[in-house]
Structure 1
């Protein structure tokens, strides 16, 4: 079996795929370090790009890093490795969120790897209206399976439960836009002019729902110059709830893997997605998001699914700038 070279070119491909993952406020809270002795690529927290007012427990940071790990795993398989991923491998090193061992090649390509790898470069968060075309049941089933493969559950609530979750999201949005600390932090992640390689450029902001039915995050709250005219969103949004059995840091990382797996699988089928995370940022609203008939699962993310334009990418930090200089 041929040996793959874990050289600078391969590292750039792996890390470039990893940093294409979604992250809260496009904060990209990760960096990477290669141990050449063990062929282990470490995925580490970049706490200097945390969002402390919105994410005081750093739950969303773990989800963001988990999404990057999923992309890294797919890219490694695409290049021919059989990556071994360990989450939180060293309790004495809390910044080490994951370790990906790359010392074994894979004799076969896993089904779907190439399509998922291609989707990495086409997956974008959509903040604009979807059409009213429903997502077919067979595609939704594939998204449910994608979440299951990462040890999580993707629930597809009915119309009544969807309305309840949207009400919780609307309440969270009201709180976030009136809370001084969170409002200021949220606005600070909007980038104008010479856009740095993280944060959300002003042109990527979406409109608000003129009917007030679908509570999209308003990053530009109280900044009228950056508001877009209201638009009509889909009448019956398809919302999915991503849950875990437990609520520990390892579960948050698995949520990130599952979230990105679901988003990439959706992209393969030309289904667009946006994330409704607002209610997850207020502990009592997050607890209330539990579906009473589904058991004790912990809701980690609400995902809005539908059809519309592909969307445009937001900036990413260059791979060389998130690789530890000691590699």
Structure 2
């Protein structure tokens, strides 16, 4: 079977076509790009290989117009995929040459990445590379165990390296700050689940794990026993049909309350370039966390609703634009969500004059 038709989670580092053409190397490296996180696991990216470079596009056919009308989170997801691609190139001993929004006249083209000259592999980059396939969004309750202060500082630095600002909230800061953020999570859950259009959009992406579309949120990804995955269609129907805001809020607020760390990632500006950079910073943070056996999951409801986003922004003196709200902690191992294969996300290989 072609390596491009395999489940990207199963790709082996040893399969890298070191003696292959540049195009063959780029195709292989896409396997790592697609392991990035995305809202509802929509995987809103596509790729074209042109003149021995990968072009990363926002796939607007996978947009979420209700929860993400400006495609902000969509582009953040693509930024995370871009970071994985760059780390993979570096790990295999090459410089990564990146152009951000290289041709604004080409719709949805976010970045162009090519393989540069050989370089010495940095140990830290190899550590990051090796946990790309170990990262997943973990919605299980976290173990009651603090993150070391030194590790929290490392995670903060991971986002700083990509030019973002952050506000860390741990158990040691005032309870009032955390409680106010949890109030926004509560409000966000209730507002979103009360909206039939939101529920309809969400339900479309709730799939059984073995769904042939290789995308969406399966039962185990929602913290439900994977043996119940057969009932995922019923879960989808319930989401679409009923306002589950009260129960969803209770679950999320408890998870947030017990999280060792709550972190807010934001940016100084709020444009597509900032969203793409936020995605890179986020993935750097998530991979750094996994190196240290730390998991993450998201509470983006307060960032997705404009009124709540403004309130969240006003809570912190940095006065930046909130982009991602997440929790970090230790938990049991989980299985990752499905991914589309390279064959499914690579549109074409061509030359452009």
TM-score by length of 1: 0.88
RMSD: 2.5
1:287 CA drift (Å): 1.3
Q: Is the 8 A contact 1:14 1:76 kept in 2?
A: yes
- Which residue in the other structure is 2:84 paired with? 71
1:237-290 deviations in whole A, cap 9, x for unaligned? 220000111111100001100000000000000011101111111111111111
Q: Deviations over 1:210-254 (max 9, x none)?
A: xxxxxxxx9864679x99997974754220000111111100001
Q: Is the 8 A contact 1:20 1:316 kept in 2?
A: yes
Q: Which residue is 1:21 aligned to?
A: 36
Paired residue for 1:161? Answer: 177
Q: Does 1:294 align with 2:317?
A: yes
TM-superposed deviation, 1:89: 1.6
Report the alpha carbon displacement of residue 291 of structure 1 after superposing the two structures with TM.
4.7
In structure 2, which of residues 149, 152, 172 is the aligned counterpart of residue 137 of structure 1? Answer: 149
Separation of aligned partners in 2, 1:230 and 1:305: 16
The alignment status of 1:62 with 2:85, answered yes or no, reads no
Runs of 4+ residues deviating >3 angstroms: 3-9, 218-224, 226-236
The answer to whether the 8 Å contact 1:153/1:243 transfers is yes
Partner in structure 2 of residue 47 of structure 1: 60
Structure 1's 311 and 291: CA in aligned 2 closer, same or farther, altered over 3 A?
Answer: farther
User: For the residues of structure 1 that align with 2:186 and 2:281, how far apart are their CA atoms?
Assistant: 25
1:191 to 189, 196, 207: 207
The answer to whether the aligner puts 1:304 opposite 2:316 as a matched pair is: no
Total equivalences in the alignment: 311
Distance 1:149 1:123 in 2: 20
Unaligned runs of 5+ in 1: 208-217
Higher fraction of helix = 2
Contact 1:290/1:298, CA 8 A, preserved across alignment = yes
Contiguous gaps of at least 5 residues in structure 2: 1-17, 225-234
**Correspondence 1:1-327 to 2 at 5 A:** 5-7=20-22, 9-36=24-51, 39-106=52-119, 108-157=120-169, 158=173, 159-192=175-208, 194-195=210-211, 196-206=213-223, 221=239, 233=255, 235-237=257-259, 238-327=261-350
C-alpha change, 1:101 and 1:178, in structure 2 (3 Å) is same
Q: Name the SS for the 2:298 alignment partner.
A: strand
SS at match of 2:134: coil
Report deviation, 1:325: 2.1
Please say if residues 41 and 102 of structure 1, whose CA atoms lie closer than 8 Å, have aligned partners that are also in contact.
Answer: no
| TM-score normalised per structure 2 | 0.82
